[in-house]
Amino acid sequence: MKLSLSTAAAPGGELDTFDEACRARGLEGIELVIGPGDDVPTLAARLAAARVRVVALRVETLDGIPLADLARLSGALSLPLSLPLGIVAGVSLTDLARTFTEAGGTLLLGFATDLDQVLAVTTALRETNAPPDVGLAWELRPSSEDLGVSGAVLLTARERLGLVRLYGGGPEQRDQDGRGVGPLFVDLALSGYGGPIVLTPSRPEELPRWHKWLTSKNVVGCGSARATGEMELDVRDVEPKDRLGTILGAFRVLPRGATLHITLDHDPSCMYYALDESEPPGTFDFRKIGDGPEVWHAEVKRL
């Protein structure tokens, strides 16, 4: 799994600058949101000239954007394109699949953390014999959804799951502590999911916080880093029952050679034993830093 960032966090921003902010926070790449005013046929050339790391494409509305152009762009860049289920409600799933298959593109249909909805869409994909290049994107909203059903949703969607869009993280990470995001990351890792986890603002009102986070040199939160290949995680405000899952989930999305810096309010030695029991031998290096008494730190490097 790779943490990435949606350009929805900085609408209208320069791609090069956005890419630099992602690299500074140890994020793997960019989800490019395509809007009605974008010239879709020229986007491939623009991205090549910018030399940014794009992991996925995103469309929120089809107003004025030909679906065939999006399919061709997805095929030309070899990148998946996600869109909400609601904006294609009146389009035949068979026609959607044909459009993207003929263009060599990949379409990901966005669904909510709703078991009935994911059952309906996976059934439709199966009954129409949709090809593998039509999959699913999980639109995950911890601040407004019940993640108690996330295990069942993941079990239902996992064969077609190509993208997870996490509404939050970054500067909003502490707002979502205790809502089950950490254990969900663990479930995703154990399920074998290896696609992007895209961080995006939970609502437009949060954009000023994201702007401050992206431009600040002192960053905190899910997906933050002091340098490329490093991630910081403060679990002091996470409910005790969710702390281990949060740490394991963050560790499992690290690329090899990266380091997770953990801040806790108790001795982190127990974390070593949990990692030693759950992870394969020789895959991590653990180091405790300091002895409190109120704040402890630890570093876990993925080998």
Domain final position from 216, 236, 271: 216
Same domain? For 37 and 123 the reply is yes
Position 223 pLDDT exceeds 70:
no
Q: Which residue range(s) make up the domain with 122? A: 2-216
Distances (CA, A) of 249 to 1, 40, 171, 180, 282: 10, 36, 18, 11, 18
Position 4 pLDDT exceeds 60:
yes
Q: What is the pLDDT of residue 73?
A: 94
Which is more confident, 188 or 116? 116
pLDDT tens digit string along 156-181?
A: 999 999 999 999 888 887 777 667 77
pLDDT tens digit string along 25-44?
A: 767 789 999 988 888 888 88
Position 220 pLDDT exceeds 50:
no
Same domain? For 204 and 233 the reply is no
Q: What is the pLDDT of residue 105?
A: 96
Residues 180, 150 contacting (CB under 8 angstroms): yes
Same domain? For 150 and 265 the reply is no
The 3 state secondary structure assigned to the chain is CEEEEEHHHCCCCCHHHHHHHHHHCCCCCEEEEECCCCCHHHHHHHHHHHCCCEEEEEECCCCCCCHHHHHHHHHHHCCEEEEEHHHHCCCCHHHHHHHHHHHCCEEEEEECCCHHHHHHHHHHHHHCCCCCCEEEEEEECCCCCCHHHHHHHHHHHCCCEEEEEEECCHHHHHHHCCCCHHHHHHHHHHCCCCCEEEEECCCHHHHHHHHHHHHCCCCCCCCCCCCCCEEEEECCCCCHHHHHHHHHHHHHCCCCCCEEEEEECCCCHHHHHHHHHHCCCCCEEEEEECCCCCCEEEEEEEC
Question: Which distant-in-sequence residues (6+ apart) come within 8 Å of 24 by Cβ?
Answer: 219, 225, 227, 228
Same domain? For 83 and 189 the reply is yes
Whole-model pTM: value is 0.74
Tally of domains within the chain: 2
Q: What is the pLDDT of residue 250?
A: 81
Same domain? For 7 and 133 the reply is yes
CATH number for 21: 3.20.20.150
Same domain? For 21 and 79 the reply is yes
pLDDT tens digit string along 256-267?
A: 888 888 888 888
pLDDT tens digit string along 107-158?
A: 999 999 999 999 999 999 999 999 999 999 999 999 888 888 998 999 999 9
pLDDT tens digit string along 71-93?
A: 999 999 999 999 999 998 888 99
* Mean pLDDT over the full length of the chain: 86
Position 217 pLDDT exceeds 80:
no
Same domain? For 212 and 243 the reply is no
Provide the percentage of residues in the chain whose pLDDT is more than 90.
Answer: 40
Same domain? For 209 and 236 the reply is no
Domain final position from 174, 195, 216: 216
**What is the Cα–Cα distance from 43 to 247, expressed in whole angstroms?**
38
**What is the Cα–Cα distance from 87 to 110, expressed in whole angstroms?**
10
Q: What is the pLDDT of residue 222?
A: 52
CATH number for 230: 3.30.110.40
Q: What is the pLDDT of residue 243?
A: 78
Domain final position from 176, 198, 216: 216
